[in-house]
Amino acid sequence: MSEAAGCHGGRETLEAAARAAGKSLVMDELTKNYPRGPHDQPQSMCPAFGSLRVGLRMRRTATILSGSACCVYGLTFTSHFYGARRTVGYVPFNSETLVTGKLFEDIRDAVTETARPEDYDAVVIINLCVPTASGVPLDLLPKQINGVRIIGIDVPGFGVPTHAEAKDVLAGAMLRYARGEAEAGPVARPRQMIDGERSVALIGELFPADPMGVGAMLQPMGLTVAPQTPAREWRDLYAALDCEVAAAVHPFYTASIREFRAAGRPVVGSGPVGHDGTAAWLDAIARATGTTAVQLDAAKARALPAIKAALAAAPISARITVSGYEGSELLVARLLSEAGAEVPYVGTACPRTEWSDADREWLEARGTHVQYRASLEQDMAAMREVKPDLALGTTPLVQKAKELGIPALYFTNMVSARPLFGAAGAGSMAGIVAAQTRGRERFSRMVSFFEGVGTPDGAGYGFRDKPVDPPGFRERQRKIQAAKAKAEESVGT
Ligand code: SF4
């Protein structure tokens, strides 16, 4: 396995190498959980960032990467950019340690040295692309060392399509481990656990105020909110698994949902977003938990009028396209649509699962095209086609939108920086979008003012005049390309 192989090394080659190196079971599991889409390589950041982030956000958990130095550099940089403030462990390798199996021994030594029970509950070790393709067998590591759990996962870019799904790889592995522990005997008591409390376990990384808002919404039904998945502390995993019902608010957590089901917990999809979404979600929770009609009515009477008022206070009159890779794109589109927006297109890099069916059906009934596993090209084509008043999307899409004079917002920042659910979500999300869509005319003026600046010939820094091609350069290139095309034609391709 070449050290140079990576994101651009060819998925088929890397996958074949991983299978030949004994990782067939891992690759089958990843393919089953995270079906692939139109693009065959990650179009956003390295997927492993999702797993790394989940590990770094957990208390008393050490996270170690095994992969090429350039991948580890990028992942570490991104982690600290997002304020990890935690050490990212790294087991380096070279061709020799990779080929001779010494890398596995180095990993085992690193894990053993790190597994200090006074500091950690768990040590996570993540195989990136090259060690996965080379078959470094993390499953042969001890399951625990000195009472510290060892969680080894393979998160290759050629097997996990998005960083969102990579969060599920680690969250699912931890839930499986914790479920095994709970089934085997008594486990540590979760903090703030109250005996006899019936709870709803929310699945997905949410804005911190959202679980509190959902908790208030559920209170008239005699329900509380369990610690979220991905968890922030090991013992929270037990409390989550002990829920009455799991709510797949982010619908792509396939491995985690499997663990909740294996623990005998029902699972509901969608989320309490907007007026209709909240009403339908509360109905689904009530059905799954056997809540009485009186309790359900009380919950609705508390939540729904406030949501209606918040939506009415920030009406949106604009055409908006939504694209992202967080997994909450359909929920955001529902909220915007309820606030009055026309949403002709929603693209999500995540796959279609049954947990977003209700949202998809609701949106499609209102004329929205829902694209799962959307590629950047599809998102851009939709934006050009429908010419929205506002595009919510990924960084490259926002850049393109701005070039075209279309107001645009970066989806991740917008969603992760404000609540989405209940009245708080309706007020803040609809409010910011309503403010942005009023700026379209300003954008058009900016585009005409800056016309040509920063575009090919005008790009760059430090030139006084327009750059001039080296004499004859373009003509030479044209001839080289023509000769190449002719040569290919003559041998046939
Ligand atoms: S680990 Fe990430 S950055 Fe490295 S080659 Fe794989 S997908 Fe690319």
Ligand 1 atom showing the smallest separation from residue 67 Cα: 1
What percent of the chain is predicted at pLDDT more than 90?
63
Q: Is residue 5 lining ligand 1, measured as CB closer than 6 Å?
A: no
Instruction: Write out the H or E segment, with its range, that includes residue 290.
Output: none
Widest CA span of the chain, in angstroms? 82
Give the architecture (CATH level 2) of 11-161.
3-Layer(aba) Sandwich (3.40)
352 touches 372 (CB < 8 A): yes
Rounded to a whole number of angstroms, the distance between the first and last alpha carbons of the chain is: 28
pLDDT at position 493 is: 44
Do the two domains 11-161 and 190-455 of this chain adopt the same fold?
yes
Instruction: Find out whether 200 and 221 touch, Cβ atoms under 8 Å.
Output: no
* pLDDT, tens only, 314-332: 888 899 999 998 899 999 9
Two tokens at 125? Answer: 């070790």
List Cβ<8 Å contacts ≥24 apart for 72-76: 72/128, 74/46, 75/46, 75/48, 75/49, 75/128
Q: In what order do the strands lie in the sheet with 408-410?
A: 369-371, 342-348, 319-324, 390-393, 408-410
Mean predicted lDDT score pLDDT of the chain = 89
Q: How confident is the model over 46-80, as pLDDT tens digits?
A: 899 999 999 999 999 999 999 999 999 999 999 99
- Which amino acid makes up residue 30? L
- Residue 175: the pLDDT is 98
For residue 4, what pLDDT band results from cuts at 50, 70 and 90? very low
Band of residue 20 on the pLDDT scale cut at 50, 70, 90: confident
Strand partners, 483: none
Retrieve residue 145's tokens: 């060392």
User: How many Å apart are CA 390 and CA 399, to the nearest integer?
Assistant: 13
Q: How close is the Cα of 258 to the center of ligand 1, in Å?
A: 27
**Ligand 1 centroid, distance to 135 Cα (angstroms):** 16
- 313 ligand 1 Cβ < 6 A: no
Long-range interactions of 24-29: CB distance < 8 A, separation 24+: 26/132, 26/154, 26/159, 27/159
Task: Give tens-digit pLDDT for 254-308.
Answer: 999 999 999 999 999 999 999 999 999 999 999 999 999 999 999 999 999 999 9
Within a 13 Å sphere around the CA of 168, how many CA atoms are in the beta-carbon half? Answer: 28
DSSP-derived 3-state class of residue 268:
strand
The mean pLDDT of 90-115, rounded to a whole number, is: 94
Q: Where are the beta strands (DSSP E) in 71-139?
A: 88-91, 122-127
Q: How far apart are CA 167 and CA 164, in angstroms?
A: 5
Per-residue burial over 258-270, b = 16 or more CB atoms within 10 Å of its CB, e = otherwise? bbbeebebbbbbb
Work out the average pLDDT over 14-23.
Answer: 86
* Single-letter amino acid code for the residue at 85: R
Q: What is the pLDDT of residue 9?
A: 60
What per-residue confidence (pLDDT) applies to 444? 67
Q: Is ligand 1 within 6 A of the CB of residue 159?
A: no
What is the number of other CB atoms lying within 10 angstroms of the CB of residue 306? 17
Cβ–Cβ under 8 Å, residues 432 and 316: no
The amino acid at residue 167 is K
Does domain 190-455 sit in CATH 3.10.450.50?
A: no
Provide the sign of the torsion angle of the four alpha carbons 481, 487, 492, 493, taken in this order.
Answer: negative
CA of 129 to the centre of ligand 1 (A): 6
- Predicted confidence at residue 68, as pLDDT, reads 92
Mean pLDDT for 340-356 is 95
* Ligand 1 atom 2 nearest Cα: 46
Whether ligand 1 lies within 6 angstroms of the CB of 103 is answered as: no
Atom of ligand 1 lying closest to residue 5 CA: 5
Q: How confident is the model at residue 374 (pLDDT cuts 50, 70, 90)?
A: very high
* Segments making up each domain of the chain, as ranges: 11-161, 190-455
- Give all strands (DSSP E) within 180-299, no chain letters: 198-203, 223-229, 245-247, 267-268
pLDDT at 384 over 60: yes
Structure tokens at 383: 């934006």
The Cβ of residue 354 has, within 10 Å, a number of other Cβ atoms equal to 12
Quote the pTM value. Answer: 0.85
Q: Provide mean pLDDT across the span 480-489.
A: 84
Mean pLDDT of 398-427: 87
Q: Using CA positions, which residue lies closest to atom 7 of ligand 1?
A: 157
For 178-195, what is the mean pLDDT? Answer: 82
Other C-beta atoms within 10 Å of 46: how many?
Answer: 23
For residue 431 the two structure tokens come to 């409010």
Please compute, for residue 181, the number of CA atoms within 13 A of its CA located in the half-sphere on the CB side.
Answer: 22
Q: Which residue has the tokens 């996570």?
A: 124
**What 3-state class would DSSP assign to 409?**
strand
- Read off the tokens for 129: 């692309």
* Closest C-alpha residue for ligand 1 atom 4: 71
**CA–CA separation, 319 vs 337, rounded Å?**
10
428-482 confidence digits (pLDDT tens): 877 787 777 776 667 667 666 766 666 666 666 666 666 677 888 888 989 999 9
CA-to-CA dists, residue 151 to 119, 136, 143, 488, angstroms: 16, 14, 7, 51
What's the confidence (pLDDT) of residue 3?
44
Does residue 129 line the site of ligand 1, with CB under 6 A? yes
Q: Is the minimum distance from the CB of 131 to ligand 1 under 6 angstroms?
A: no
Of the listed ranges 5-19, 292-306, 318-332, 354-368, the one predicted with least confidence: 5-19
Q: Which atom from ligand 1 is nearest to the alpha carbon of 48?
A: 2
How far apart are the CA of 40 and the centre of ligand 1, in A? 13
Cβ of 152 below 6 Å from ligand 1: no
Residues with Cβ within 8 Å of 54's Cβ and at least 6 positions away in sequence, in order, are 167, 170, 171, 230
**Helix and strand numbers, DSSP H then E, in the chain:** 21, 14
Q: Which run of H or E residues covers position 262?
A: helix 254-262
- Ligand 1 atom with the shortest distance to the CA of 68: 4
Which band of pLDDT confidence, cut at 50, 70 and 90, is reported for residue 491? low
Among the ranges 18-27, 133-142, 459-468, which has the highest mean pLDDT value? 133-142
Number of CB atoms found within 10 A of residue 476's CB: 11
